[in-house]
Structure 1
Amino acid sequence: MKTVNSLPLTVTRLFAPIPPETQAELDLLCELYGRTLQKFQMAFCTHELRQKVWNWRAFGDELVYFLNLPQPKFETLLEDLKAQGKRAQAELLKFLRSQQISEGPRLQARHWKLCLDEASQGLRTYWQTVKAELKRQWGRFFGRYSNEPKTLIYINWILRETEQQFYMASQGKVPYPQPPKLNPKETDAEERYRERLAAFEKLKKRH
């Protein structure tokens, strides 16, 4: 049986050059994407919005709802947010609104949602690293209590990323006097929580 040698076939495709005005618009959109991503990153680094990274989709839906408000209601919303001490969210909404009503090249909603996703993903990775480091540092202290269910409740309570005490612990602060948010089945752990809290305070004084 004879074999037939086949010659390789090269296909050359030609693309029309991008007009200078289109290239300028694309460059501007890339710049806007970077600026918007930076805005989300800065917002998520604030104490006000850092916990939003764990539920960023709901936060995005909230932003969409606010951005769809008529301008008078939107202005009232910004004032209300500032009065409540939510300046980071107010500034973020103000920036997104300016992009929304811009007459020039602007990011569509699906584009700034990509920025929201990218920024929250980066911050989630960061806080997971912090959590792992906290576990490592606490291992020598809490390790001997690892078989005690009530103690594990307390440790897991501290390490809930969606609640304030996790961020206090990550800054080297004892989450006190704020009491733990115990579930109905965890009410018997409150006494053990106080014991662990006292022991943790003594440990911090030695280091």
Structure 2
Amino acid sequence: MSLSFPNVYTHRKVAEGSAKGCDVCYKPTTSVLITPENKDFFYVCASHLKERTFCTPIVDKAAEEAKKKKAEDEKEAKMKEEVERVKKEYEEKQKKKKEKKDGEKEDKDKDKDKDKDESKDKSKDKEKKDDKDKDDQEKKDKDGETPAASDEPRVFALQKFLYQQRLDKKRQAEIAKRNRERIANPSFFPSVPKGLP
């Protein structure tokens, strides 16, 4: 059985009930680093993953470029939606201005009332725009928070000495297992002599 495995560990989370002590600081943690094909795993605090003396993140350039492209596409779509919304608002305002001009010719008294109503509408429009701006800002803040969590690297390479320790630990466990199997086998020990000395 081959004991070597690549120095590529994927960060995974386990259920709270399955939390065990961190291999570094012994505090209970739900974060696990695991190798491909599950040859090695160990529990480690998420804070240790940020330490350069413990491990370094492995960046998948293709995945990162795909994320950037997706983010740019989303920005483009939002911009197009915003432009369409502004165009519609502008067209509505132009229609209102035309109606206002037609109404001025008919009755000057109505014009005064319309000016009052329009000033009220403008103040309402400003309030709506302020509310929309606040909502947009809140959405941007929320959007900014979620990618931060997902942008954390998930694949790591341990430092050389730590990786060597993991290999040595696996090797020792394999040797101990082989020794237990040998001891359990009765043919391992010599047989008792049957003849007289």
Bin of the TM-score, shorter chain as denominator length: under 0.3
Choose between structure 1 and 2: higher helix proportion: 1
Structure of higher CA gyration radius: 2
TM-score, with length taken from structure 1: 0.26
**Which structure: greater strand fraction?**
2
Between 1 and 2, higher relative CO (CA 8 Å, sep ≥ 6) is seen in 2
